[in-house]
Structure 1
Amino acid sequence: MINNGEEVLTLIDKIHNEKPYGTVLIRANDILNYLLNCNTHPTLAEISTGLKFSKPTTLKILNTLELLGWVIRDDQTKQYFLGTQLISFGDKALASMDLVKIARPYLTELRDKTQETINLGIVQNEHIILIDKLESPMSVKLQSTIGGQMNLYSSSMGKAVLATYKPSHFKDYLATHQLTSLTNHTITSAKKLQEDINLIKQTGFAMDNEENETDVFCLGATIKKNNRLYGAFSISTPTYRLPEERKNKFVRLLLNTQAEIENKI
């Protein structure tokens, strides 16, 4: 029986410092993430090559995931898909997030006023994870999907988050994350990114001008209260639908929505 506060802290530290149990679980997670982020439906060979796992190991894990209903294999094309069993997990996770419940009415109003796609995300492992998305009623569909992730440096939500980082945290981020080009407009210079962050701090909102996805412009802002960062949200639109006057209107709507959500929290 542990009855000493010091012993409790020692035990907690020991648990946190232990290596993860079961490398097969980690590899299964890698496979699920690969399927999630893949633009096509890959075969066994493509998954094995993409993750640099041996084919026998990859097949064993895929067979187990298929048995659990987490992946589906097309017997004719030999392609793998994410299984419908995962939907219930996703629904449960989203249902437990208060941020989605709180923000949804205000984001719905923002979508209706702008007629553009609205995204809601949280920060996880120095990435933006999309937890809610309200599609534009217009015909153009954007690539982002709920559960998908975006870089902090290339997305409007991510850059808005970076603007909240202390200088030491931002320096650590730059030291551990390569600014890889996603489009011809992606910021790949640490100096240029710093300049962008400084501007975000002044204006209170961030812009992604085709930096994350070609022909897509996004305006983003954080959701923050009492020095706690809850997440971020954005307005995404094809660049051809955003003349300067409309952009200025969107900025006002974005900041008004930010204030409404933060007041509700």
Structure 2
Amino acid sequence: MMGGNKTVVKSLEILKLFYEHDRLTLQEMVEISNIPKTSVYRQVKSLEEMGLLTRDIDGKYRLGLIFIKLGQLVADRLDIRQVALPFMHKLRDEMGEAVNLIVREGNEAIYIEKVDTKKPVRLYTRVGRRSPLYAGACSRILLAFMPPEEAEQYIAQTELKAIASGTITDKERLRQVIVESQKNGYSVSYSELEDHSAAVAAPIYNHKGEVVAGLSMAGLEAHYAPDKLPPLIKKIKQTAREISLQLGWRDE
């Protein structure tokens, strides 16, 4: 049994070489892994027979197509809500603010999960609530990380209606805020969906490097004064990153 375990470990060590290398020769695998050549040869032949490695015409090896199928299965079966929820609870408990998870649906953002603050005064949000992509930090972070042409088309074709006193209704201003969000990796909003409310949001990435959701903390505007923002921004970006890693995103 122990011998079988050692074989599996060595096979995994070989496969892990391809995290950072697209194609490798046998000799390159030996040099990088420091595993004896005979052992590498046996492992590679077994992995090739199972379809886990494929040898090109020039003799170099790469990961087999089976990984595409397996990777897609894993991605398809990941429920972003289940993945995110423990991190959302932890963030709420550490920072004391409500935490929301939002995804895009057409030209709107929809709240798919929330963790309420334990404070007596709360904002009104609910799972299933919708908001336009231009309004509010969490919605706008999705707009900011859409393909540029698609985002510009949305802005050009959308009437920016005021929802609350701070809603951005000027298209040039919206474009500026989007550029800032792309540069900084987060978005902040004040009284955009509800007066006297504020939010800070960061994007969540999937295994393909695509933004698939937005994570936000939201609360009373007084809790998001400029001098109080740095720790909020740090934590929302950190938590969004942790969720992204669980979804298979590689931090490069």
**TM-score by structure 2 length?**
0.65
Q: How does 1:110-129 map to 2 (within 5 A)?
A: 110-129=91-110
Residue aligning to 1:229: 211
Report if aligned partners of 2:189, 2:199 keep a CA contact under 8 Å in 1.
yes
CA distance in 2: counterparts of 1:227 and 1:147, whole angstroms: 26
Q: Which has the larger radius of gyration?
A: 2
The question of 1:154 aligning with 2:135 is answered yes
Residue aligning to 1:143: 124
CA distance in 2: counterparts of 1:228 and 1:244, whole angstroms: 30
Which residue of 105, 110, 117 maps to 2:86?
105
CA distance in 2: counterparts of 1:108 and 1:190, whole angstroms: 35
1:80-102 per-position Cα deviation (integer Å, ceiling 9, x unaligned) = xxxxxxxxxxxxxxxx9700100
2:118 alignment partner, SS class: coil
Residue aligning to 2:47: none
Residue aligning to 2:20: none
Structure 1 residue ranges (4+ consecutive) displaced by more than 3 angstroms after TM superposition: none
CA distance in 2: counterparts of 1:255 and 1:222, whole angstroms: 8
Deviation of 1:229 after TM superposition, in Å, equals: 2.5
Deviation of 1:181 after TM superposition, in Å, equals: 0.6
CA distance in 2: counterparts of 1:191 and 1:151, whole angstroms: 17
Deviation of 1:176 after TM superposition, in Å, equals: 2.7
Residue aligning to 2:74: none
Structure 1: which 5+ runs fail to align? 1-95
Q: How does 1:85-104 map to 2 (within 5 A)?
A: 98-104=79-85
CA distance in 2: counterparts of 1:243 and 1:175, whole angstroms: 32
1:204-262 per-position Cα deviation (integer Å, ceiling 9, x unaligned) = 00111111110001001111132323211100010122333431101000111011101
CA distance in 2: counterparts of 1:262 and 1:167, whole angstroms: 21
Aligned AA (2:198): F
Aligned AA (2:99): I
Structure 2: which 5+ runs fail to align? 1-76, 248-252
1:119 alignment partner, SS class: strand
Aligned AA (2:146): Y
Q: How does 1:56-205 map to 2 (within 5 A)?
A: 98-205=79-186
1:18-55 per-position Cα deviation (integer Å, ceiling 9, x unaligned) = xxxxxxxxxxxxxxxxxxxxxxxxxxxxxxxxxxxxxx
1:233 alignment partner, SS class: strand
CA distance in 2: counterparts of 1:178 and 1:206, whole angstroms: 21
Which residue of 246, 249, 252 maps to 1:264?
246
1:78-128 per-position Cα deviation (integer Å, ceiling 9, x unaligned) = xxxxxxxxxxxxxxxxxx970010001111110011101000111101211
CA distance in 2: counterparts of 1:97 and 1:136, whole angstroms: 26
CA distance in 2: counterparts of 1:263 and 1:149, whole angstroms: 27
2:124 alignment partner, SS class: coil
CA RMSD of aligned residues (A): 1.4
Residue aligning to 1:248: 230
Identical columns (%): 22
CA distance in 1: counterparts of 2:189 and 2:163, whole angstroms: 12
